[in-house]
């Protein structure tokens, strides 16, 4: 079950969406506010049901899988990481092992060592014992990224992973995702910055008013005309594969 396929997936907000996130691909999901991007991720996760169509893991309909089974294959980084749980950074990251442990199972020392290594990779090893409610939004986002890595899922869904991050950490976050996909993981990432998608993604899906305008390799999908239609502004190719918006159409 190594690919995530939206097969005509529909809900109250998204309509007849079809594309496949395969191993080794980093998909950028782009669209204006309210387009249904977060909803589509929740449909992919099975948090929201399909009113029609299907979501498949490999050839298996996700509605036939338990939450634990889904979590073994799908990792999730939410749009607004919780800040009031009282958990430390290390405790949050170790939650990534939950789908692989028994009902009363506890993380091992090896799990804890691995979690600390992942926190170090995102620059937060020194904050391992700090509570989430004592951390910035960006720091919490990086903790959730480390948790997703520890989960060991082969498919990753990220809702605005670069939100709250400064430029350096945006680059580090997307570089980390790129390394993971190059190692065979598939990722679907909501982004608001088209130029980050151009630089880091392999594929893009354009969502407007709950409907898919285009989906495929970045070089085929991210064109000035398509982006102008998507956002309702005059998007211009600024050269070197980058885009800028100049005025409303």
Burial of 104 (0-12, 13-18, 19+ CB in 10 A): exposed
Stated length of the chain: 249
Contact between residue 195 and residue 33 where contact means Cβ atoms under 8 Å apart = no
d(CA 248, CA 234): 6
pLDDT at 81: 61
> How far is the first Cα of the chain from the last one, in angstroms, to the nearest whole number?
43
pLDDT at 83: 58
DSSP 114-174: HHHHHHHHTT-GGGTTSBGGGS-HHHHHHHHHHHHHHHT-SEEEEESTTTT--HHHHHHHH
pLDDT at 23: 93
Cβ count within 10 A of residue 118: 23
CA distances to 120, 219, 238 from 214, rounded to whole Å, are 38, 12, 21
Residue 249 has pLDDT above 50, yes or no: no
pLDDT single digits (tens) 41-93: 999 998 899 999 999 999 999 999 988 888 888 998 887 666 556 899 999 99
Domains and CATH numbers, the chain: 4-218 (3.40.50.300)
Give the helix ranges, DSSP H, for the chain: 37-45, 67-73, 89-94, 109-121, 137-151, 167-182, 194-200, 218-221, 224-231
pLDDT single digits (tens) 153-212: 889 999 988 877 888 888 888 888 898 899 899 999 999 999 999 999 999 999 999 999
pLDDT at 15: 96
What residues have CB less than 8 Å from 106, skipping those under 6 apart?
Answer: none
Q: Which one, of 77, 80, 50, 100, lies nearest residue 189 by Cα?
A: 77
CA dihedral 149, 147, 61, 55 (to 10 degrees): -90
pLDDT single digits (tens) 200-248: 999 999 999 999 999 999 999 999 999 999 999 999 987 777 788 876 5
CA dihedral 17, 68, 146, 186 (to 10 degrees): -40
């Amino acid at each position: 079950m190594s690919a995530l396929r939206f097969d005509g997936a529909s809900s109250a907000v998204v309509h007849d969406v079809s594309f496949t996130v395969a191993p080794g691909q980093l998909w950028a999901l782009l669209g204006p506010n309210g387009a249904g991007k977060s909803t589509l991720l929740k449909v992919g996760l099975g948090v929201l049901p399909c009113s029609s169509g299907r979501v498949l893991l490999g050839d298996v309909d996700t509605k036939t899988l338990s939450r634990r089974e889904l979590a073994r294959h799908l990792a999730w980084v939410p749009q607004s990481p919780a800040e009031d749980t009282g958990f430390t950074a290390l405790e949050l990251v170790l939650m990534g092992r939950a789908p692989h442990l028994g009902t009363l199972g506890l993380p091992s020392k090896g799990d804890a060592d691995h979690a600390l290594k992942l926190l170090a990779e995102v620059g937060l090893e020194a904050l391992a014992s700090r509570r989430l409610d004592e951390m910035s939004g960006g720091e919490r986002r990086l903790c959730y990224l480390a948790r997703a890595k520890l989960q060991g899922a082969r498919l990753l869904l990220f809702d605005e992973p670069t939100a709250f991050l400064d430029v350096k950490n945006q680059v580090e976050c997307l570089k980390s995702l790129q390394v993971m996909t190059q190692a065979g993981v598939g990722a679907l990432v909501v982004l608001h910055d088209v130029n980050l998608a151009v630089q880091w993604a392999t594929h893009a899906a354009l969502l407007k008013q709950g409907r898919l305008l285009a989906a495929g390799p970045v070089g085929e999908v991210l064109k000035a005309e398509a982006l102008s239609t998507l956002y309702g502004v005059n998007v211009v190719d600024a050269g070197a594969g980058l885009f800028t918006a100049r005025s409303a159409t």
